[in-house]
């Protein structure tokens, strides 16, 4: 009997020692840095995949050389059922433990999509549809339905989607990203509206979007936005036409060939601010937060005119009187000729 107890004790110690050795090897494997290229390895788990299939794919993709220890670890901790489908980017420096955490947390690869300040709605949809990870579901005719689904009373999409960089997993739909951009614009617009200046000649948040979109198209310089907004605000206050080329161009639409003419300026459309007073009926582009802030907080001053300087810094010259403005226009034309001579 004593001998049997002794044998059992020895066996238990041996099993315990073997367990410790296995655990040591297992943890050593799970925490060993894998040979992953600096750019990482793309790895996709299809919906419904078993862990054994995932494990085999890891070997086939060259992520790990042998999956026996990995399968043992997953079975030991009973986490195979927690693996989530999706596209992953396995980064340089990853270990098997980190990879499993990625798979069980659903930390899928995220892509970036940026709505650029000043884009119009056609450019936004085109960019979405050329993005490798976006699932295209919309056409240009679907904008009103999208806006209706968001509870908007508007049917024209221009200006309603915030220029920002959005992160998302592969196969996110264009609608999902646009909904995110719309909701973010509503939030930003409300915040800016709540802190607007009493000097802003704006009657509604939508009018703020319209004016902001014009400011956005007139300058890319952050330091000029409030000043340009100030010019437009003063013109609105004295009922002076805005006379801004970007609105005319928007009214021409996709047919615009890049060359604005006197005939364009004289052709009346709802967007021609040379022939009509006040703001156009809708925004003409997607304005960023800075442009919205400028439209609602116009810079004080006396200037009623501005024109490009023709310099490479994208600056404008501001004038109070028509005579000053005419002189600035003449300077601009001289600079243009100089630029052409220099190949600029």
Question: Is 14's pLDDT higher than 50?
Answer: no
Residue-wise pLDDT tens digits, 103-121 = 999 999 999 999 999 999 9
Does 23 have pLDDT greater than 70?
A: no
The neighbour count for residue 228, using CB atoms within 10 Å, is: 25
Residues 26-41: what's their mean pLDDT? 90
pLDDT value at position 80?
87
CB 134 within 8 A of CB 172: yes
What's the Cα-to-Cα distance from 32 to each of 65, 212, 303, rounded to whole Å?
A: 12, 54, 67
Q: With 80 as the cut, is the pLDDT of residue 8 above it?
A: no
Does 74 have pLDDT greater than 60? Answer: yes
Q: pLDDT tens, 211-249?
A: 999 999 999 899 999 999 999 999 999 999 999 999 999
Q: Which residue has the tokens 């592969």?
A: 170
Q: What is the pLDDT of residues 257-290, one digit of tens each?
A: 889 999 999 999 999 999 999 999 999 999 999 9
User: Can you say whether the dihedral through the CA atoms of 297, 300, 305, 307 is positive or negative?
Assistant: negative
Tokens for 215?
């400011």
How many Å apart are CA 242 and CA 237, to the nearest integer? 11
Q: Extract the tokens encoding 331.
A: 């300077």
CA torsion angle 210 216 217 218 (round to 10): 110
Q: Residue 342's pLDDT band (boundaries 50, 70, 90)?
A: confident
Domain residue ranges of the chain, discontinuous segments joined by +? 26-105, 114-189, 199-341
- Burial class from Cβ neighbours inside 10 Å (0-12, 13-18, 19+) for residue 225 reads buried
Cα–Cα nearest to 331, from 221, 342, 319, 261: 319
Read off the pTM: 0.86
Domain at 26-105, CATH homologous superfamily: Endolytic murein transglycosylase (3.30.1490.480)
pLDDT per residue as tens digits for the range 287-298: 999 999 999 999
């Amino acid at each position: 009997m004593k001998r049997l107890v002794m044998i059992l004790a020895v066996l238990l110690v041996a099993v315990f020692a073997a367990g410790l050795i296995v655990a040591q090897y297992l943890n050593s494997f799970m925490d060993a840095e894998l040979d992953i290229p600096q750019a990482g390895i793309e790895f996709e788990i299809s919906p419904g995949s078993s862990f054994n299939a995932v494990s085999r794919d890891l070997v086939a993709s060259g992520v790990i050389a042998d999956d026996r220890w990995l399968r043992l670890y997953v079975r030991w901790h009973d986490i195979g059922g927690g693996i989530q489908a999706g596209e992953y980017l396995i980064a340089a420096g990853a270990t098997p433990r980190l990879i499993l955490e990625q798979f069980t947390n659903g930390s899928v690869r995220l892509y970036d999509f940026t709505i650029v300040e000043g884009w119009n709605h056609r450019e936004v949809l085109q960019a979405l549809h050329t993005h490798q990870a976006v699932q295209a579901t919309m056409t240009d005719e679907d904008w009103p339905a999208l806006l209706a689904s968001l509870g908007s009373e508007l049917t024209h999409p221009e200006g309603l989607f915030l220029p920002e960089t959005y992160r998302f997993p592969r196969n996110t739909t264009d609608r999902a990203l646009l909904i995110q951009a719309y909701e973010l614009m509503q939030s930003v617009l409300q915040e800016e509206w709540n802190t607007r200046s009493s000097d802003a000649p704006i009657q509604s948040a939508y009018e703020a979007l319209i004016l902001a979109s014009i400011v956005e198209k007139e300058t890319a310089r952050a330091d000029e936005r409030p000043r340009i907004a100030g010019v437009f605000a003063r013109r609105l206050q004295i009922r002076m036409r805005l006379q801004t080329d970007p609105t005319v161009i928007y009214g021409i639409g996709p047919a615009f060939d890049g060359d604005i003419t006197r005939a364009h300026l004289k052709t009346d459309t709802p967007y021609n601010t040379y022939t009509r007073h006040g703001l156009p009926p809708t925004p003409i582009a997607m304005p960023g937060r800075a442009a919205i802030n400028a439209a609602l907080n116009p810079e004080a001053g006396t200037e009623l005119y501005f024109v490009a300087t023709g310099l490479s810094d994208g600056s404008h010259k501001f004038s109070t009187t028509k005579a000053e403005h005419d002189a600035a226009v003449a300077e601009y034309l001289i600079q243009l000729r100089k630029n052409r001579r220099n190949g600029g």
